[in-house]
Amino acid sequence: MLLGLRNSIPPRRTTKALPAVFLLLCATPVISQKAQDSSALPKYDTHTEMKTKGVVDEINVIPLGTNKDLIELVIKSGDDKSHIYVCPKTFQEELGISFSKGDAIAVAGSKVKHEAADVILAKELIKGTDTLVFRDERGDPVWNLRTGK
């Protein structure tokens, strides 16, 4: 009788799930690598440090993932426009700073290429009587890279 019950219980079939699990494990690094590549920002280069000033023409938020949206200022100086990558939006909010179209600012930072365009990674920004520091002397961000704060 025990033998009869044993034969009536269907065997587990785990072998069909193995190929699906294997494909999922293989695809995950490819998917995460693509996400990192699309959001990768250029590195600060102390050899390309420069200064510029102008008037804020545009304020953009560049999405880089959860809590890592980046504030970009486009400033005009005469007919020239410069794209300034300032800091994560969460860091800006934590500091309680804001930017408005028409603000006169001066920026010190590293001029680098990002997606075939010249951008300035802000190290220090002067707005009115306020001097805002976003990077240390080596060009490392002063905010937490993991949280953006």
Is the pTM here over 0.75, yes or no? no
Q: Of 123, 68, 63, 131, which is closest to residue 97 (Cα–Cα)?
A: 131
pLDDT in single tens digits along all 149 residues of the chain: 455 555 555 555 545 544 444 444 444 444 333 333 334 678 999 999 999 999 999 999 998 776 679 999 999 999 999 999 999 999 999 989 999 999 999 999 999 998 889 999 999 999 999 999 999 999 999 988 777 77
Q: Of 122, 10, 30, which is closest to residue 73 (Cα–Cα)?
A: 122
| Spatial distance between the Cα atoms of 123 and 140, rounded to a whole number of angstroms | 9
| Spatial distance between the Cα atoms of 112 and 125, rounded to a whole number of angstroms | 17
- The pLDDT tens digits for 87-127 are 999 999 998 999 999 999 999 999 999 888 999 999 999 99
Q: What are phi and psi of 117, to 5 degrees?
A: -120, 150
